[in-house]
């Protein structure tokens, strides 16, 4: 009962603070609703970026990966810091100079409207068909399990899941659809503080348990007993091969932190360039500490449970094992905030893309800003309802998480390609961007969902026929049967860039593209942005060197 009360109390506190902070914001304009009136400061931007990134599929999934592979999976966290620095120095000044509300708006100016529409459609498809239902499903499984909802309400597991899905969906919709970006960002910032506190408590209590009551004894026990797993480089057959850090990993991270509407929208709402850059740099510094929350607990669980439980169950089992009962409600509220954040952030971005890039562009070109916001909200409600109906149909959130890492390559690398080439060149034409999008997506689908699975299945079948059954040997065979999807992404990125440049050479656009300064926000950069960025990058490199075998 104490846990339930602390959960309800903390969740209600966040809602009240968000309401008080946003009640005077003008939500009837596009900037007011979609970009919080271009008023966000560094602290709010950093908090919102971090919590938007975190949700149950990452907290549970990445710790599950660490349970299986050890420290090498930290690449998903630490390398993000470098790409956030790149975004702060290279991309954000160009975004704010052009007064962008959505990333595809730049593509309309640089290439043409149809390129923008195709890209917005890809974003919306990725968000709506896969991401929103998965967030709802995985979050509901976590909350239902933590509070044992089936027993508490005396209902079946499926009914409890549906109740949680609709509860999270409705609350998330209220924040995102009716509150706009500022409500999302403010609630994110508050929850980010709670998530950092709660997330750090798990490994702290875990190490105390490992050390029989002593934190430092637990740390020593971990370093001695898992010396071979405390390796930043890992093995080539693991989830993150070290070589992939220099190929597709950096591209995926750059897309996510620099061009993904769901994430970059926070920085686009900055009151000026300096605040946006400081927000990104602050978030990147904190991101370096991400493995403490997202990797270390998985490694603690591996030692605590002797590697005998299923990897995706590791985090939940660790929380129940080491967290004092009075803190369970608080941590559940924090986790609920993370689930809510990811859901409402994706929903808000979807509303923004539809309202500005679809409705205003193709349905009602003469629509007032108030009308655009109104129909954006209607679209958001429809998306939320669709996601709530689809979510219960997902059978296995664990396998969905692994699948998402790969399936996002269908659209993220083609979009990143045309944005990078668009900014770095002045005469590559629109036809080159369209070819890169369709060719990049098509070749990736052919590689990863037609050719690759066939080769891997044949190799594994042959191995099992020869009596090979242990997990490590099978993973090695699987890795050798077909290139890692991150390597494939890098190959296709380079291929797309070459194709676009060749087309631009033989069929350049008539006039060189010149980006205009819209003067919507001040774009004087933060005076220490390069120095701070260099320090962050050196820290990341130092961490890799320190933990390398």
Task: Transcribe 26-77 into DSSP letters.
Answer: -TTSHHHHHSGGG-B-HHHHHHHHHHHH--HHHHHHHHHHHHHHGGGGGHHH
Calculate Rg over the CA atoms of the chain. 23
Residue 164 and residue 317 in contact, taking contact as beta carbons nearer than 8 Å = no
Q: Is the pTM of this model over 0.85?
A: no
**Whole-angstrom distance, CA of residue 47 vs CA of residue 103:** 21
3-class secondary structure for 87-109? HHHHHHHHHHHCCCCCHHHHHHH
- Mapping DSSP to helix (H, G, I), strand (E, B) and coil, where does residue 252 land? helix
Residue 451: the pLDDT is 95
CA distance 470 to 453: 20
Phi-psi region of 467 (alpha: psi -120 to 50; beta: other; left: phi over 0): left
- pLDDT at residue 459, rounded to an integer: 93
| Tally of CB atoms within 10 A around 509 | 18
| 340 in Cβ contact with 168 (< 8 Å) | yes
Structure tokens at 30: 């596009």
43-71 burial: b if 16+ Cβ within 10 Å, else e: ebbbbbbbbbbbbbbbbbbbbbbbbbbbb
pLDDT value of residue 181: 46
Residue-level pLDDT at 27: 47
Tell me how far CA of residue 301 lies from CA of 81, 213, 226, 313, 475, in angstroms.
26, 16, 12, 10, 22
pLDDT profile of the chain (549 residues), mean per 10:
58 59 50 55 85 75 89 93 96 90 85 90 78 80 76 86 87 62 58 77 94 95 93 90 92 92 82 94 92 94 89 80 81 76 72 79 80 79 85 64 75 93 94 96 94 93 90 91 94 96 95 87 93 97 93
Asked if 164 and 143 count as a contact pair (C-beta separation under 8 A), the reply is yes
Q: Which helix (H) or strand (E) holds 3?
A: helix 2-22
Q: Which neighbouring-strand residues pair with 272?
A: 522
Residue 499 to residue 511: CA distance in whole angstroms: 20
pLDDT of residue 44: 84
Could you tell me the domains of the chain? 2-405+521-547 (1.20.1730.10)
């Amino acid at each position: 009962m104490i846990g339930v009360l602390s959960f309800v109390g903390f969740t209600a506190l966040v809602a009240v603070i968000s309401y008080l902070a946003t009640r005077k914001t003008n939500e009837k304009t596009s900037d007011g609703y979609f970009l919080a009136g271009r008023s966000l400061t560094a602290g709010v931007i950093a908090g919102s970026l971090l919590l938007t990134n975190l949700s149950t599929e990452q907290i549970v999934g990445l710790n599950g990966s660490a349970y299986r592979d050890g420290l090498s999976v930290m690449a998903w966290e630490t390398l993000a810091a470098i790409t956030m620095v790149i975004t702060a120095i290279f991309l954000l000044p160009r975004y704010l100079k052009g007064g962008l509300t959505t990333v595809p708006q730049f593509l309309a100016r640089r290439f043409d409207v149809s390129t923008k529409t195709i890209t917005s459609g890809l974003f919306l498809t990725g968000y709506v068909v896969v991401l929103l239902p998965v967030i709802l499903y995985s979050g509901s499984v976590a909350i239902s399990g933590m509070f044992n909802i089936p027993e508490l309400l005396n209902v079946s597991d499926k009914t409890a899941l549906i109740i949680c899905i609709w509860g999270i969906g409705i609350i998330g919709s209220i924040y995102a659809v009716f509150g706009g970006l500022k409500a999302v960002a403010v609630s994110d910032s508050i929850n980010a503080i709670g998530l950092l506190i709660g997330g750090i408590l798990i490994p702290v209590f875990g190490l105390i348990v490992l050390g029989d009551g002593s934190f430092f004894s637990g740390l020593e026990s971990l370093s001695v007993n898992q010396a071979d797993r405390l390796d930043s480089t890992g093995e080539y057959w693991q989830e993150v091969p070290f070589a992939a850090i220099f190929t597709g990993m950096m591209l995926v991270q750059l897309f996510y932190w620099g061009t993904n509407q769901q994430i970059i929208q926070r920085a686009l709402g900055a009151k000026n360039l300096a605040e946006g850059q400081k927000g990104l740099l602050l978030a990147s510094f904190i991101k370096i500490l991400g493995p403490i929350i997202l990797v270390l607990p998985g490694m603690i669980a591996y030692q605590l449970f002797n590697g005998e439980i299923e990897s995706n169950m590791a985090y939940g089992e660790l929380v129940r094992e080491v967290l004092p009962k009075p803190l369970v409600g608080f941590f559940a509220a924090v986790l609920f905030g993370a689930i809510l954040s990811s859901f409402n952030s994706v929903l808000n971005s979807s509303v923004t893309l539809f309202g500005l890039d679809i409705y205003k562009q193709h349905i009602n070109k003469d629509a007032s800003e108030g009308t655009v916001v109104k129909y954006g909200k209607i679209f958001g409600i429809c998306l939320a309802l669709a996601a709530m109906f689809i979510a219960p149909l997902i059978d296995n959130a664990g396998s969905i998480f692994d699948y998402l890492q790969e399936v996002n390559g269908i659209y993220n690398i083609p979009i990143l390609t045309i944005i990078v080439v668009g900014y770095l060149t002045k005469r590559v034409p629109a036809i080159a961007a369209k070819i890169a999008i369709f060719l990049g997506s098509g070749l990736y689908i052919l590689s990863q969902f037609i050719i690759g699975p066939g080769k891997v299945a044949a190799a594994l079948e042959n191995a099992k026929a020869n009596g090979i059954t242990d997990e490590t040997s099978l993973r090695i065979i699987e890795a050798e049967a077909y290139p890692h999807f991150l390597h494939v992404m890098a190959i296709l990125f380079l291929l797309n860039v070459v194709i676009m440049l060749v087309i631009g050479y033989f069929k350049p656009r008539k006039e060189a593209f010149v980006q205009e300064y819209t003067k919507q926000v001040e774009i004087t950069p933060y005076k220490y942005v390069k120095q701070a960025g260099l320090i962050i990058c050196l820290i990341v490199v130092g961490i890799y060197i320190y933990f390398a075998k």
